[in-house]
Amino acid sequence: MPSPKARSGSGRSGSVPCPGGNGRYEFISLNRTPPSPVPPQLLQRQGSDPTTARLRASESPVRRRGSGSSNSSTGGGGQQLPEEDCMRLNPSFFGIALSSLLAIDLWLSKRLGVCACEDSSWGSVRPLMKLIEVSGHGIPWLAGAAYCLYKSDSPAGQEVMLNLLMALVLDVILVGVLKAVVRRRRPAHNRMDMFATFSVDSYSFPSGHATRAAMCARFLLTHLVLAAPLRVLVLLWATIVGFSRVLLGRHNVTDVAFGFFMGYWQYNLVEMLWLSPVMLQSAIGQLH
């Protein structure tokens, strides 16, 4: 039987008697966290001794795996997100501005498409808009330029009509290539009842009518001697042709705006590639 001094010392140091009953004492740290409770199934499997069951539970593979997963999850909490996730969570200013511009473009184009069908608010004006559409089509312009070139008698008139025909062919090629590259679909409220369409005409960007109207207007105002009312009429025609594309629901606003910009600068390319009848005859002579 231990003395009272031993019991008081054991009480101060936190010692407990060993459950084996052999009189030895086990010293336990006062700062140690309390042991986790032992599952009843493991206690029944190991016997009635809770200390032995607790030691075996701490050494079990399940506990080791759990501690490893908790350590890995704790260590992985400080890792950075993948780069693509960061990009999605923190979009750039350019991406936000482009998405906002696209949303405004689609909303405004739908609101302005008042002649998209007969049931629209301005459906009664649709036949007039389609007539303006034909006036800016490429086939009438190509046929008219070729006919004027054939009927022209003066060298100056032939030179102007020849370069106008070249400009129209260049416009068809550039617009067709750009439409095939961008592949932007036409507005959802558009009705595909256009005059003489081709495969690339199923795409919307840019507006071929707008590029042709801007280029032809600048060409006519530069190389034809027109009175002031006719010059105003040419500018008014080009503006109405571009605006009618949005009213009919054929194009979005940005398609027409870029078409005007492209057609204006396309004329500069025509001036750089300007052909004279002498140059044309010399080129034909070299081919023969």
- For 245, the domain range is 105-287
Give pLDDT, residue 35: 54
Answer yes or no: is 221 within a domain: yes
Q: Which of these is catalytic: 137, 223, 251, 288?
A: 251
In a domain, 113, yes or no: yes
Mean pLDDT of the chain: 76
Q: Are residues 115 and 28 in the same domain?
A: no
| pLDDT at residue 6 greater than cutoff 80 | no
- Tell me the CATH number at 260: 1.20.144
80 domain residue, yes or no: no
Phi/psi-derived region of residue 21, left when phi > 0, alpha when psi is between -120 and 50, beta in every other case:
left
Please tell me whether residues 161 and 237 are part of one structural domain. Answer: yes
Query: 3-class secondary structure for the chain?
Result: CCCHHHHHHHHHHCEEECCCCCCCEEECCCCCCCCCCCCHHHHHHHCCCHHHHHHHHHCCHHHHHHHHHHHHHHHHCCCCCCHHHHHHHCCCHHHHHHHHHHHHHHHHHHHHCCCCCCCCCCHHHHHHHHHHHHHCCHHHHHHHHHHHHHHCCCHHHHHHHHHHHHHHHHHHHHHHHHHHHHCCECCCCCCCCCCCCCHHHHECCCCHHHHHHHHHHHHHHHHCCCCHHHHHHHHHHHHHHHHHHHHCCCCCHHHHHHHHHHHHHHHHHHHHCCCCHHHHHHHHHHHC
Q: Is the pLDDT of residue 103 over 80?
A: yes
Catalytic annotation present for 223:
no
Is residue 201 located within the same domain as residue 125?
Answer: yes
CA 254 to chain centre: 15
Q: Answer with the residue of higher pLDDT: 136 or 275.
A: 136
**Cα-based distances in Å from 116 to 57, 110, 188, 251, 270:** 76, 9, 10, 11, 34
Task: Name the active-site residue from 137, 189, 209, 223.
Answer: 209
Catalytic-residue membership of 251: yes
Average pLDDT over residues 6-21: 47
In a domain, 68, yes or no: no
In a domain, 70, yes or no: no
Q: What is the pLDDT of residues 85-94, one digit of tens each?
A: 444 555 687 8
Is 99 inside any structural domain?
no
Q: Is residue 237 part of a domain?
A: yes
* Residue 91 within any structural domain of the chain: no
The string of pLDDT tens digits covering residues 53-94 is 454 545 544 444 444 444 444 444 445 545 544 445 556 878
Shared domain for 37 and 129, answered yes or no, is no
Shared-domain flag, residues 45 and 113: no
Question: How confident is the model at residue 226, as a pLDDT?
Answer: 87
pLDDT at 218 over 80: yes
pLDDT exceeds cutoff 90 at 193 = no
Same domain, 251 and 124: yes
Shared-domain flag, residues 159 and 267 = yes
Per-residue confidence band for 34, with pLDDT thresholds at 50, 70 and 90 = low
Number of folded domains in the chain? 2
Share of the chain above pLDDT 70, in %: 65
Mean pLDDT for 228-250 is 93
State pLDDT tens for residues 132-179.
999 999 899 999 999 998 888 888 888 899 999 999 999 999 999 999
